[in-house]
Chains A and B, each alone.
Chain A
Amino acid sequence: MHGYYGTYLTVVVLFAIGAAIVGGAFLANRALRPHRPTPEKLTTYECGVDPVGEGWAQSYVRYYVFAYLYVVFAVDAVFLFPWATVFSAKGYGYVTLGEMFVFLAFIAAGLAYAWKKGVLGWV
Chain B
Amino acid sequence: MSETHVLAEGATLNSFGHDPWWIIGLKALVVFVFLLLTVLITVWAERRIIGRMQLRPGPNRAGPFGILQALFDGIKGALKEDIVPRGVDKVVFFLAPILAAAPAMVSFSVIPWGGVVSIGGHKTPLQLADLPVAVLLPLAMASIGVYGFVLAGWSSMSPYALLGGLRSSAQVISYEIAMGLSFVAVFLFSGTLSTSEIVAAQAHGTAFKVAGMTLHTPSWYAVLLLPSFIIYIFTMMGESGRIPFDLPEGEGELVAGYHTEYSSLKFMMFYLAEYVNMTTLSALCTTLFLGGYRAPWPITWFWSGANSGWWPVLWFLIKIWMFTFFFIWLRAALPRVRYDQLMKLGWKVLIPVSLGWILFVSVVRALRNEHHDVGPIMIVAAIIVVLLLIASFLWERVSASEAQPEEAEAAAEQDPMAGGFPVPPLDAPHYHGVGNGRAPNSAEATRA
Contacts and interface: CB of A to CB of B under 8 A. Distances in A.
B83 A41 contact: yes
Contacts of B332: none
Main secondary structure of the interface of B (DSSP, over half): helix
A73 B181 CA distance: 10
B431 to A, nearest CB: 8
A58 B423 contact: yes
Contacts of B181: 77, 80
B3 interface: no
A3 to B, nearest CB: 6
Contacts of B335: none
Contacts of A93: 366, 369-370
A41 B86 CA distance: 9
A104 B360 CA distance: 12
B426 A58 contact: yes
Given A10-B109, A35-B82, A45 B158 contact: yes
Contacts of B20: 1
The 10 A-B pairs at the shortest CB distance, nearest first, are namely A57-B159, A118-B439, A122-B340, A84-B187, A77-B180, A70-B173, A6-B17, A118-B430, A29-B265, A55-B157
Nearest to A45: B260
Nearest to A42: B86
Most central of A29, A32, A78 by chain B CB within 10 Å: A29
Contacts of A122: 339-340, 343-344
Interface string A36-73: 11000111111100011011111111110011011001
A101 B423 CA distance: 45
B128 A97 contact: no
B347 A120 contact: yes
Contacts of B264: 29, 33
11 contacts: A1-B20, A6-B17, A11-B109, A34-B81, A44-B156, A56-B157, A58-B424, A59-B163, A88-B365, A108-B355, A120-B344
Contact of B188 (A69, A84, A107, A123): A84
Interface residues of B, number: 98
A26 B102 CA distance: 14
A39 B365 CA distance: 66
B191 A44 contact: no
Most central of A10, A11, A37, A115 by chain B CB within 10 Å: A10
Contacts of B158: 44-46, 51, 56
A52 B421 contact: yes
Main secondary structure of the interface of A (DSSP, over half): helix
Interface size class of A (residues with CB under 8 A): 35 or more
Interface stretch (B26-34, B312-320, B390-398): B26-34
Contacts of B25: 13, 17
A32 B79 contact: yes
Nearest to A29: B265
B426 A60 contact: yes
A123 B425 contact: yes
Given A58-B423, A81-B193, A8 B131 contact: yes
Interface of B: 16-21, 24-25, 27-29, 31-32, 78-87, 98, 101-102, 105-106, 109, 128-131, 133, 135-137, 143, 154, 156-160, 162-163, 166, 169-170, 173-174, 176-177, 180-181, 183-185, 187-188, 191-193, 255, 260-261, 264-265, 339-340, 343-344, 347-348, 351-352, 355, 358-359, 362-363, 365-366, 369-370, 421, 423-426, 428, 430-431, 436, 439-442
Contact of B191 (A18, A80, A89): A89
Contacts of A73: 177, 351
Contact of B265 (A15, A25, A78, A94): A25
Contacts of B83: 37, 41-42
Contacts of B176: 70, 74
B78 A2 contact: no
A94 B87 CA distance: 60
Contact of A43 (B85, B339, B426): B85
Contacts of A94: 366, 370
B17 A7 contact: yes
A76 B159 CA distance: 34
Interface in A102-123: 104, 107-108, 111, 114-123
B180 A74 contact: yes
B265 A26 contact: yes
Contact of A60 (B18, B27, B358, B424): B424
A46 to B, nearest CB: 7
A15 B29 CA distance: 11
Given A1-B17, A35-B82, A59-B163, 13 more contacts: A1-B21, A14-B129, A33-B82, A56-B159, A58-B424, A66-B170, A67-B170, A80-B358, A81-B135, A88-B369, A107-B355, A114-B347, A122-B340
Nearest to A97: B366
A100 B366 contact: no
